[in-house]
Amino acid sequence: MKEFVQYLVQSIAKHPEDVEVVEKQLDETYIKEEISVHPDDMGLIIGRNGRTIRSVRELAKAKAIKANVKVDVELLEPDREEKGVKEAVEEAAEEVADTAEEVVDSVENEVNEMAEELMDMVEGDDEADSEEVEAA
């Protein structure tokens, strides 16, 4: 089954050398095929509205019926095959926190610059007012 799924996916992919299929025998009659592909090929393998991966699954299921087994075909997301969902969420949260901190720092700097400019303007107006009073 693994070779069949790998052949199908490699036929579609632009980077067939990066196609990897891992077969997991869950029990005597149930097989799981995990596909990982080059990130640039994800769109091709999924297809419009998921049609291509759905077709690969249907072809694998048809072959599995003939072999009297059940098969599940899963397309793994790049970079997630080694990470759990928890780790991926933690990594994304760290990135968001870093970005938020940078934005806050930037806005804080801008506000401080504006405050300094306003203070300079106010001090300049005070000096002009006192000069007008002395001249009068």
Helix (H, G, I), strand (E, B) or coil at 72: strand
Q: Any idea where the domains of the chain sit in the sequence? A: 2-75, 83-136
Strands 70-75 vs 20-27: parallel, antiparallel or unpaired: unpaired
Q: What pLDDT does 130 receive?
A: 59
Q: List the 70-75 sheet strands across, edge first.
A: 20-27, 30-36, 70-75
Residue 136 pLDDT > 60: no
Q: Residue 19, exposed/middle/buried by CB under 10 A (0-12, 13-18, 19+)?
A: buried
Task: Report the percent of the chain where pLDDT is more than 70.
Answer: 86
50 and 64 Cβ atoms separated by less than 8 Å: no
Highest CATH level, class, for 2-75: alpha beta
Say how far apart CA 131 and CA 134 lie, in whole Å: 5
Average pLDDT (4-26) is 91
Tens of pLDDT, residues 46-91: 989 999 999 999 999 999 999 899 999 999 887 644 556 677 778 8
DSSP assignment of 3-69 equals HHHHHHHHHH-S-GGG-EEEEEEEETTEEEEEEE--GGGHHHHH-GGGHHHHHHHHHHHHHHHHTT-
Q: What pLDDT does 98 receive?
A: 82
Q: What pLDDT does 92 receive?
A: 79
Residues near 59 by Cβ (< 8 Å), separated by ≥ 6? 4, 8
Supply angle C-alpha 50, 88, 20, rounded to 5. Answer: 50
136: enclosing H helix or E strand: none
Q: What pLDDT does 81 receive?
A: 47
Tens of pLDDT, residues 115-129: 999 988 888 766 655
User: In the structure, what pLDDT confidence band is assigned to residue 22 with cuts at 50, 70 and 90?
Assistant: very high
Q: What pLDDT does 131 receive?
A: 60
